[in-house]
A and B are shown apart, each in its own frame.
Chain A
Amino acid sequence: MNDDIAIRAEGLVKRYRETTALAGVDLEVPTGTVLGVLGPNGAGKTTAVRILATLLQADAGHATVCGHDVRRDPVGVRSVIGLTGQYASVDEDLTGAENLTLIGRLLDLPKAAARARAAELLDRFELTGAGGRAIKTYSGGMRRRLDLAASLVGRPRVLYLDEPTTGLDPHARNEVWQVVRGLVDEGATALLTTQYLEEADQLADRITVFDHGRVVADGRSDELKRRVGGQTLQVRPTVRSDLDLVERILAELTGASPARDDDAALLTAPVSDPTLLSAMVRRLDEAGITADELALRLPSLDEVFLALTGDAATRPAEPERSLV
């Protein structure tokens, strides 16, 4: 097996009676990189993780993790992976330290070594103070950090992060992101599933977009963005009454009619030439108009995602985002 590919999956298929969870998925995660698997609920992300973690058997296709075949050598796979996520959990009745020590013991560490490893991980995830408390007293963010710590006890070479921040508030999400970034900096290979486009954008080297059990797109985040559409120029005049005038200038410069959002007092137009930004600055200046916002931007992953899946109905609600 090729050493520089940590996770390789070919043609994974999984069916449940009526529904097809995976309809032939290929994945390849080079060692030391993070693959973000992005998709709405029910896209097959968790099914793929469960197959790659040997918790589930695929109906067809095959996969290897660090050279171990998930079907023929599940124990070999389990000895190199760590799993964190919505489904793999820790015992709520036990304390953080007890949970981590238990896992260490199950990984055949001697008692003292298991305790030491638990203390080390609690310290690293800033849970030392909470290490003696039962998990059920933890906040959501602490709970996820402990979940992550639990998956790291055995120093796994490959880490599965299955929707690690679903249900967390933005602050707790940031905490988890920082932890994941730290792991990646140390050279971990990770497969991250998420419904949050921003999360994939922030953490992943490459992004694979799942929809209805298929891979609908694959690439770096900027590649995906570029594939869907070019850049746009956004202008938000300070004074609302300038909107008409700015709209005319923008239309003149870009040769397209800008999208106008009256509520946000925002004008957006597609541009092919990035130098138009400075032209726009000059024109606004000449007209004596000041702008609160003037930016050249790639489409958001939200827009990319919408364009790729073409199916707004299956997307999770993301109230914090407003589509331009």
Chain B
Amino acid sequence: MTTLAAPPATRIGAAKALRHGLTLARRGVLKIAKNPEQLADVTIMPILFLVMFVYLFGGAISGDTSSYLQLVVPGIMVMTTIQASVTVGIALNTDVSKGVFDRFRSLPIARSAPLIGAVLADLVRYLVCLVVLLVVATIMGYRVGTSVAAIPVAMALMMAFGLAFCWIAVWVGMLVPNPGTVQGLMAVLIIPVSFGSNIFVPSETMPGWLQAWSDVNPVSLLADTLRGLLNGGPVAGPLLGALAWMAAILAVFFPLAMRAYRKRLA
């Protein structure tokens, strides 16, 4: 796949690569189970934001906390997914710097298997984070206004978004020397993208330039899609924009990430 193969070379088929990827994904999930504190990191932050915004600013922004809750929960779901997707970059970077990757690479498995494994394990992370968030939100009084069937659809959309967005983290993870730097650099990207959106406040109250950005921000578009799905309202418009963003992120960062991955491991 990535080798400059000449005839006598031993090859690894796609089915085998996928099986190795799944084996490594199981390792990732096992690690999540063993280090719940790492998951707590990405789970608790959004919940803190949820509680703080709802009870602190909710009344001021929406008139009362319960209607603000309906506005903010879908947005925080997007924020959670973005934050959880950084972990893949950190995990890959840690594996490379600790030499675990060299062990994998000395085995007759596909070069892509560790990457497939890391990204698949991330799906489990998104799912756990989102479920915890929804449970807390429900306890606080959040109610799905459409139908319960909308929840798995919303989850699936978030997973798809996470799978697109995580390539930025993979790319950064392969470029910088240590795991801490991945976190720092990704925060620089995530904070303006998360806050410069309509997830906490409607963009109408923002100054023109910020409103212009917020309206095209993929985080806003995804939050609007989820609001439509879960609370009721238009879905198609924001979904189209969100899908366009996801495709664009994938088109740019997947190749960049793959190049950086190969280079890091060369």
Q: Is A216 an interface residue (CB 8 A)?
A: no
Given contacts A83-B106, A90-B103, A94-B27, contact A72 B5 (CB under 8 A): yes
Q: Is A324 an interface residue (CB 8 A)?
A: no
Q: Is A254 an interface residue (CB 8 A)?
A: no
Question: Is the CB–CB distance between A106 and B104 below 8 Å?
Answer: yes
Which among B8, B24, B30, B106 has the greatest number of chain A C-beta atoms within 10 A? B106
Closest residue to B113 on the A side, CB-wise?
A: A106
CB distance from B213 to the nearest CB of A (A): 40
Question: Is the CB–CB distance between B5 and A79 below 8 Å?
Answer: no
B 25-82 contacts with A by CB, 8 A: 27, 30-31, 34-35
Given contacts A72-B9, A73-B10, A89-B99, contact A106 B24 (CB under 8 A): yes
B: interface residue count bin: 20 to 34
Question: Is the CB–CB distance between A78 and B106 below 8 Å?
Answer: yes
Q: Is the interface of A mostly helix, strand, loop or mixed?
A: loop
Question: Is the CB–CB distance between B30 and A75 below 8 Å?
Answer: no
Given contacts A56-B266, A74-B3, A75-B12, contact A106 B31 (CB under 8 A): no
- Compute how far the CA of A74 lies from the CA of B20 in the bound complex, rounded to whole angstroms: 17
Closest residue to B22 on the A side, CB-wise?
A: A105
A 61-119 contacts with B by CB, 8 A: 68-69, 71-76, 78-79, 81-83, 86-94, 98, 102-103, 105-108
Question: Is the CB–CB distance between A75 and B24 below 8 Å?
Answer: no
B 252-266 contacts with A by CB, 8 A: 265-266
Q: Is B102 an interface residue (CB 8 A)?
A: yes
Question: Is the CB–CB distance between A154 and B4 below 8 Å?
Answer: no
User: With a CB–CB cut-off of 8 A, which chain A residues contact B105?
Assistant: 54-55, 78
User: With a CB–CB cut-off of 8 A, which chain B residues contact A79?
Assistant: 10, 108
User: With a CB–CB cut-off of 8 A, which chain B residues contact A90?
Assistant: 100, 103
User: With a CB–CB cut-off of 8 A, which chain B residues contact A98?
Assistant: 27, 30
Question: Is the CB–CB distance between B108 and A89 below 8 Å?
Answer: no
User: With a CB–CB cut-off of 8 A, which chain B residues contact A57?
Assistant: 266
User: With a CB–CB cut-off of 8 A, which chain B residues contact A56?
Assistant: 266
Q: Is A150 an interface residue (CB 8 A)?
A: yes
Q: Is A53 an interface residue (CB 8 A)?
A: yes
Question: Is the CB–CB distance between A134 and B34 below 8 Å?
Answer: yes
Question: Is the CB–CB distance between A150 and B8 below 8 Å?
Answer: no
Q: Is B109 an interface residue (CB 8 A)?
A: yes
CB distance from B32 to the nearest CB of A (A): 10
User: With a CB–CB cut-off of 8 A, which chain A residues contact B34?
Assistant: 93-94, 134
Closest residue to B20 on the A side, CB-wise?
A: A106
If A72-B9, A91-B31 are given as contacts, then 17 extra A-B residue pairs at C-beta distance below 8 Å, sorted by A number, are A53-B106, A55-B102, A55-B105, A56-B266, A72-B5, A74-B9, A75-B11, A81-B106, A83-B106, A88-B102, A89-B99, A89-B102, A91-B27, A91-B95, A102-B27, A106-B104, A106-B109
The 6 closest A-B pairs by CB, nearest first: A89-B99, A75-B10, A83-B106, A79-B108, A78-B108, A88-B102
The 17 listed contacts between A and B (C-beta, < 8 Å) are: A55-B105, A73-B10, A74-B3, A75-B11, A78-B107, A79-B10, A83-B103, A86-B99, A87-B99, A88-B102, A88-B103, A90-B100, A90-B103, A103-B103, A103-B107, A106-B20, A106-B109
